[in-house]
Amino acid sequence: MIPQHSSPKASVVRQLLETEGRVMLCLDATRPDVAVPRRFNKDLDLRLILNKNMPQPIDFTATAIESELRFGGIPHYCVIPYDALWGVFNPDSMKGMFWTESMPEEVRTRHGLEEVPLHPPPPPPPPAAKFELRVIEGGCEEPAVTSPEKRTRPNLRLVT
């Protein structure tokens, strides 16, 4: 059971692991206290698979997920601090959760998750059209025109 003081991320990982069977952890391996094989320690978008049927235990401590994972068949004891974890999901069902506030900026940009302001500025107004209306002498003396064919000359003219 996860201790009461542990991270909400631990609860999400644990619940998905129990209900889905396996989960993929997305983490920033460049963060301090992450323990993975050295060849992955510069990876901002490292993905690790956990399976509830793994023979080795998966420990959910107050600050990290710890377990011995295999990389190319070679075991390595891994420590994934919750602050380095930015996503967890089942790759088959795509059920999971992402914490965009924990994602590295480069990963957010790569996946099109740039921050959008809550209230974007209004679009600029269209350029004002310059025109003027002029009354043509004698326009009020002509009878009302009901169809364009009977019209002899316009009363108002658009001048640009």
Instruction: Write down the domain spans for the chain.
Output: 8-110
The reported pLDDT for the residue numbered 77 is: 96
**What average pLDDT does the structure give for the chain?**
80
Fill in the amino acid letter for 134. Answer: R
**Residue whose token pair is 């930015």:** 86
Top pLDDT among 116 and 47 is at 47
Alpha carbon distance 113, 121 (integer Å)? 19
Encode pLDDT of 92-127 as tens digits.
Answer: 998 999 888 888 988 888 877 765 445 566 677 676
Q: How far apart are alpha carbons 58 and 50 in whole angstroms?
A: 8
For the question of whether the overall pTM of this predicted structure is more than 0.85, the answer is: no
How many CB atoms neighbour CB 100 within 10 A? 12
Each residue's pLDDT tens digit, 135-159: 656 555 555 555 556 556 656 656 6
pLDDT at 42 over 80: yes
**CA torsion, ordered 5, 9, 12, 13, to nearest 10 deg:** -100
In the CATH hierarchy, which top-level class contains the domain 8-110? Answer: mainly beta
pLDDT of residue 26: 95
- Residue 51 to residue 70: CA distance in whole angstroms: 12
pLDDT of residue 102: 87
What confidence score (pLDDT) does residue 151 get?
A: 56
How far apart, in Å, are the Cα atoms of 119 and each of 101, 105, 107?
Answer: 19, 21, 24
Identity at 93, one-letter amino acid code: S
Summarize pLDDT for 9-21 with one digit per residue, the tens: 999 999 999 999 9
Locate 32 and state its tokens: 């301090």
Residue with tokens 């107004």: 125
Q: What is the mean predicted confidence (pLDDT) over 20-33?
A: 93
Q: What is the pLDDT of residue 86?
A: 93
Q: What is the mean pLDDT of residues 40-58?
A: 92
